[in-house]
Structure 1
């Protein structure tokens, strides 16, 4: 019987705020300009005991989750990190999501094995699914993986893209499809065909293609293309049951966290604008007053949307929480984008010239809000309201 750890309570919000102000924000520009993983930020999270947010307290984590009546705490932490650096927030999201899957779906033996590395050594995890099947202009090679089942495990070949934390993570939870390419998001096969495999990223059969990741924003998320060349993963590294990720709609638990990151970017833009206006002593400009008012309302509205979703999760009203989560994802994107526009109009062209943080925020928010198609998301919400069949995890049109 494993002896339960005695965890000393910590003031996670105060500690994190200190980190974001003193360390994360000053480093954001460097990660952006060099396209590098925010390694030092994760080391700081580990040093201060914040690197295991969604691991149960029994194993040394903070014990946050949708089923723990405290999910709003996780989203608040995500927003705070995103205020300093949205790319770091993206890597944090993937790490927290991976740990949440392990905490809820892994066996006890798997938890003891992997949680030790996270809590005691600062191991970093992520979740990778991206295998878009449709080609874009100029694309010559297909993207996707194939899976062969052997007597002892699985052999993975092919590639995934949008692999956040690629050069910084130690482990990845791979969402792969036994029926062909597509991962969890893009495949059309049976839900049971999608399995989750814990992959040790130090495996020499895995290679990272950083040439694929030359984006306008979110550069520090290092969301490379990752290639697998006969990568073997034993049965002992399979997480949960086949199809469990899709059948239990685990993606819906994470959707509001995208909004939490959008909100962090919007808050950073808002705070920069206030500083800019005060510096120029333009507080009495009526047009500035209008824009500041709209920004303040947008920020408050976004917080209220997240509060509402968290309250539903806390009450275990899962169906309503999942439906509202999509509304949160959609509406906070609109609020954050509007806030950014108000900031740019208020601060002018010089705010879009480096080293202004608004220049980076505008690039990061523009790219990250395209993680999902908000037209399809809005249609999904409409289908939900009308009682029509819909995919509330990935907003597929079929």
Structure 2
């Protein structure tokens, strides 16, 4: 197993984003712009310009407010939730950006880190992680250039490439076939230095999340240098980082449920229905569900940082992440029909936001292997001798 690089962190840049109301203007701005990009082939480019201006593309880098080296996962999850509450498509792509930066934090060399962090800080470049593929997935074949230097030729496609052509630094995975190493390898493609990546927009005809621009992309003919490879074969799947990352997309999902909850309250106030006892009962249940999700996120963030620092069994970290993911999915699935009953058919018509948010959240909840996730939780608790009161301490 390769050592995970770490770097010392300077004094954090102060961005008190989680103080009361600090992010509200930005969140409202992104939310108000969301309907404009709710079409296939569109992308919320303006929203990411706003995130860059606010310093949120670089917020997890060394010396910044949520520096990965400082154990700020609970606060990061709250940030992801807030952005998801504004626009789930923006939240999905932003989470991919954070995911890529975390993998760089874990596995990059100091030189690579310096280069990729410069891409974010100075050039405001968007990163993402594109791992999903169909039968004709990506291969990474080593070859020698005319100058005798090692290089790599890509063939094959990725599906669900969120952000598409708007991502300047996609982190992709593929089957590496080289002389001295083979396996599932990460690489970061410097898009302005290689041939254009063929983009098939016909692939993306979704129920929701249209603005995430999750196209099919063909990397055939792309050439990479040795320094474009990230980590070693197999690092991408290393636990607890692979499965433990589910808490990040769960945070974005909860943001969608929270947006539905807030829109429901506003809709009922507009209709002067806040005195209706049945509406009060539904809103009470929604409030309990949303706050339950917040407790899950807080515990997941705090436990992840503490357990990683203590070096506990990675299976415990993954099991709690899986529970968080499962619980928040269930919370979202319960909030949506409650909101539907509150607002009725009238509320599900455009330009009200319910119709779009419901479509987006319905699709975004469909994450890989939910049944296997439950099985893994069950295996962990059934094979652990600790009392339930002690198991997650």
Q: Please, what TM-score do these two structures have when normalized by structure 1?
A: 0.86
* Match 1:175 to one of 173, 176, 187: 173
Contact map agreement 2:66 2:76 (CA 8 A) in 1: no
Structure 1, unaligned stretches of length 5 or more? 133-141, 180-190, 389-398
CA deviation profile, 1:252-282 (whole Å, cap 9, x unmatched) = 2311111111110111100111111112222
- Are residues 1:201 and 2:201 paired? no
Query: CA–CA distance in 1 between the matches of 2:41 and 2:35?
Result: 10
In the other structure, the counterpart of 1:44 is 50
In the other structure, the counterpart of 1:393 is none
In the other structure, the counterpart of 2:26 is 19
Contact map agreement 1:337 1:365 (CA 8 A) in 2: no
Structure 2, unaligned stretches of length 5 or more? 1-6, 145-149, 385-393
Contact map agreement 2:141 2:153 (CA 8 A) in 1: yes
In the other structure, the counterpart of 2:256 is 265
* Match 2:163 to one of 140, 158, 165: 165
Matches within 5 A, 1:1-398: 8-13=13-18, 14-21=21-28, 23-33=29-39, 35-57=41-63, 61-65=64-68, 68-132=70-134, 142-151=135-144, 152-178=150-176, 193-202=183-192, 203-317=194-308, 318=312, 319=314, 320-387=316-383
Query: CA–CA distance in 1 between the matches of 2:9 and 2:326?
Result: 41
In the other structure, the counterpart of 1:187 is none
Q: 1:382 to 1:170 in 2, by over 3 A?
A: same
CA deviation profile, 1:77-101 (whole Å, cap 9, x unmatched) = 1111111100000000000111111
Moved over 4 A (4+): 2-7
Query: CA–CA distance in 2 between the matches of 1:28 and 1:366?
Result: 17
Shift of 1:194: 1.0
Contact map agreement 1:16 1:77 (CA 8 A) in 2: no
Query: CA–CA distance in 1 between the matches of 2:252 and 2:383?
Result: 30
In the other structure, the counterpart of 2:390 is none
Shift of 1:218: 0.7
Contact map agreement 2:40 2:204 (CA 8 A) in 1: no
Query: CA–CA distance in 2 between the matches of 1:266 and 1:3?
Result: 37
CA deviation profile, 1:53-107 (whole Å, cap 9, x unmatched) = 32221xxx43443x63210111111111111100000000000111111122111
Shift of 1:239: 0.9
Contact map agreement 2:40 2:213 (CA 8 A) in 1: no
CA RMSD of aligned residues (A): 2.3
